[in-house]
Amino acid sequence: MAGRGPAPKEQHQRERDTRRRQSDVVSVSQDGEIRGPELVGPFSDETHAWYLDWRVSPQASLFTNTDWRRLLLLAPIVDSYFRKPSAAALSEIRLNEERLGATYVDRLRAKIRVEKESAQEAEVVQLHAVTSREDVMARMRGDK
């Protein structure tokens, strides 16, 4: 079966096209808030982790009751896939997750932009002074 074509681009060559496309975009941010109903039932740890990923995802702030109902209906399929993987289950999971904006391309098509954290909120990474190539190689091997 054929795909849906190339993913939309964030920037167009003409400024007026870029402004028009970006005016429809909904911005969400990763705030770490847990949203939606809890997953109850005899599900595996992997299924609970999958559902928690959705509950803390940036796009979860846009979900309505019907979106959460879709995830709750999908949970048994995800659970059975973790127990015994099958192509049919994976296809159904992929289709449903696509509609909810699981991947970067899915969010581009749905015009959902996940805002990056600001420079002040970003974790500061300390860089160690490197004096030689041997120093770098030793760090890569784990000797230092």
- Which region among 17-21, 23-27, 100-104, 134-138 has the lowest average model confidence (pLDDT)? 17-21
Q: What is the DSSP string of 20-85?
A: HHHHTPEEEE------S----SS--HHHHHHHHHHHHSGGGGG--HHHHHHHHHHHHHHHHHHHS-
pLDDT in tens, 43-72: 999 999 999 999 999 999 999 999 999 999
pTM recorded for the entire structure: 0.68
Read off the pLDDT of each residue in 119-143 and give the average, rounded to a whole number. Answer: 65
> 40-49, 60-69, 90-99, 128-137 — which is least confidently predicted?
128-137
Answer yes or no: is pLDDT of 3 > 90.
no
Q: Are 48 and 134 in contact (CB under 8 A)?
A: no
Task: Give dist(CA 47, CA 75) in Å, integer.
Answer: 7
